[in-house]
A and B are shown apart, each in its own frame.
Chain A
Amino acid sequence: METQTTTGLEKAKAVEKWRTHLFPAGLAILILLNILIFMEHLGFSIVSRYYKGILILAFINIILAVSLNLINGITGLFSIGHAGFMAVGAYVSALLSLNMGRWEFVSPQVQAVIQFPLVLLAGGLAAALAGLVIGIPTLRLRGDYLAIATLGFGEIIRVVALNLNITRGARGIASIPNYTSLWWAQLFAVVTVVIIWNIVHSNHGRAMVAIREDEIAAEAMGINTTYYKVLSFTIGAFFAGVAGGLLAHHLTFISPKAFDVLKSIEILLMVVLGGLGSITGSVIAAIVLTALPEVLRFLQAYRMVIYAGTLVVLMIFRPQGLFGRAEVDLTVFKSFFRSRTGEEVTSRPEKRGGNGGSA
């Protein structure tokens, strides 16, 4: 409710937070990362191929988690079919890349640079179209029914990919050009986060939050709930499609198996762990959950059991996720240090997720 009564203040705070903490912090991390990667060209190979691969996956997962958070966390629509939109983006962009042919007037490198963003955009638009087509009928449903319907659509997309000739069925599409570099993944992740952050803190975002808090009340306040629900769903689908395209051009091979229910659930876990409604939470959770399986590799078979067990325990003791709805920024550290030194803790009211989904 807090979010509705103090919207103006909220917005000012968000802008303030963005300007003073999040933007500089994010920029600093990215610059540091890029210096480390750039060292390679100077002869110091600090970031190995293995770590580069993980970083690319982390950036792709950031796009997926943040875009799903717009649907699940901000608008409160419980969707578990994100892998389906990813599949649409992956297939469309991969097929376009493979069939574009060789442009005679530019060198292959230049062609890749021009072609790749266009192809990803096309993949994203195709996924957005799928989101629109699926969203208009299913978003009439609520809560559990919506969840199961989106899951169903996700599966249908997978089965369609399994059956069409153009997607080559279960054999999948191989030898997709390996265009996804760390630079591209990074660029698209940053653009996604910035765009979604701005949507959330715009009028549209506040309408979406209002729908999450109470759909009937939002409607009574004159918000066109159907429009905003479909909008949120379509935007989320668009970025999932872009992420799918990035993944396809990173792995150079895609098959319907990669986009099954488990993939959707994996993305959902990132959103939930980070906190439904917290964009910074999603970013951090995406990074953690990409790195965690690699770190836990020594546990081998126990890995997934621990993973699932942790999720259940987390839900029981902290159902709002690690960060709840709060955005993480440097004040977290500030208040931490202040309380350590005995000073008064800055009064930063943490908005605890009281009533999650629009159940």
Chain B
Amino acid sequence: MSQFLQQIVNGLSLGSIYALIALGYTMVYGIIRLINFAHGDIYMVGAFVGYFAFRAGLPLPLVFFLAMAVPALFGLTIEFFAYRPLRKRNAPRIAALITAIGMSLFLENLGILIFSPDPRPFPRVFTNEPIYFAGGVTISIPQILTLAFTSVLMISLTLFIRFTRTGKAMRAVSQDAEAAQLMGVNIDRIISVTFVIGSALAGAAGVMVGILIPRIEPLMGIMPGLKAFVAAVIGGIGVIPGAMLGGMLMGMAETLVTAFISSTWRDAIAFGLLIVILLIKPSGIFGSSSRTKV
């Protein structure tokens, strides 16, 4: 039982990272119906910025600021140079999807070129000394930090989307882009804002994963990226609380499988979950189903 609880704690901290990445996926998908495959690599960029910032001895808040600002800039640039021209040309959606895959390959290989493909150890900023909880369950400082910072980010995001003008515009665009435009919403600006926020969250996730699992490499974004997308689908794509829940579920499912079955099956559980959810309720847990009209 205590081992089970322990795995829940571990799962929550891993899950919060998935949730942060999933938020970016779900926000972008909600607004422009694009699986932004490059999002996982934005997370890698965040991890590397964090790595260099820590190595330079910068204070923690500044590290997080940089690790969110630089990926945000990446997201903005990618949207501007790769996705926007496609949108302006009314290119088929398959072209957009392939562009996203191409962008992802580009970032991965740029990472390999600049940072070399070898994994490097993330600087240990916090001791991994476990703190004892009730019932033999332990939690470490990086885990507490991850959970706390993720909660702060999620609450701020929810408040932002709910109460600011920009947040309202984002919701409007995701509901009906054309109508929003008629109401005077600058769609391009909203899309840029969405990419900036999503990428910043992924960047934060990158630093946190560095602190939690201190090993980073240029291809580290592929698997978490795919799994976070799966998490977004499980929660209901386009729905923000869905991404949070989906991420947490994904993290927990993974740690439980690793602990009680085998770590080599870990990657299968994510996609197994995806297929089950797609077959039972393709719109996800919180999603509302839509019918194709002729």
Assess the B271–A156 pair: CB atoms within 8 A. Answer: yes
A137: interface (CB < 8 Å): yes
Cβ 8 A contact of B106, one of A151, A309, A359 = A309
- List residues of chain B with CB within 8 A of the CB of A309: 102, 106
Assess the B272–A156 pair: CB atoms within 8 A. Answer: yes
Assess the B109–A305 pair: CB atoms within 8 A. Answer: yes
Assess the A311–B92 pair: CB atoms within 8 A. Answer: no
Interface range for A: 35 or more
Assess the A141–B278 pair: CB atoms within 8 A. Answer: yes
Question: Could you list 13 examples of A-B contacts with CB < 8 Å?
Answer: A148-B35, A149-B278, A159-B264, A159-B268, A163-B262, A163-B265, A163-B268, A216-B292, A304-B109, A308-B106, A308-B109, A316-B82, A319-B94
- List residues of chain B with CB within 8 A of the CB of A162: 264
A147: interface (CB < 8 Å): yes
Interface centre among A159, A162, A261 (most CB of B within 10 A): A159
B38 → chain A closest CB, angstroms: 10
Choose, from B8-16, B151-159, B199-207, B226-234, the stretch at the interface.
B226-234
Assess the A312–B95 pair: CB atoms within 8 A. Answer: no
A307: interface (CB < 8 Å): yes
- Measured in the bound complex, the distance between the Cα atoms of B101 and A312 in whole Å is 9
Cβ 8 A contact of B94, one of A148, A160, A302, A357 = A357
Assess the B91–A319 pair: CB atoms within 8 A. Answer: yes
Assess the A148–B113 pair: CB atoms within 8 A. Answer: no
The binding surface of chain B is classed by DSSP as helix
B294: interface (CB < 8 Å): yes
A262 → chain B closest CB, angstroms: 8
Instruction: Using A147-B97, A159-B267, A355-B92 as known contacts, say yes or no to A153 and B275 having CB atoms under 8 A apart.
Output: yes
Q: Chain A 132-173, CB within 8 Å of chain B: the 1/0 string?
A: 000001101111110111011101101110110000010000
- List residues of chain B with CB within 8 A of the CB of A316: 82, 85-86, 89, 91, 99
A214 (CB) vs chain B CBs: closest residue: B294
A289 → chain B closest CB, angstroms: 13
Contacts A145-B233, A301-B112, A359-B94 given; 18 further ones with Cβ under 8 A?
A: A141-B278, A145-B282, A148-B35, A149-B274, A152-B271, A153-B275, A156-B275, A159-B267, A268-B98, A268-B101, A301-B113, A311-B98, A315-B95, A315-B98, A316-B86, A356-B94, A357-B94, A357-B97
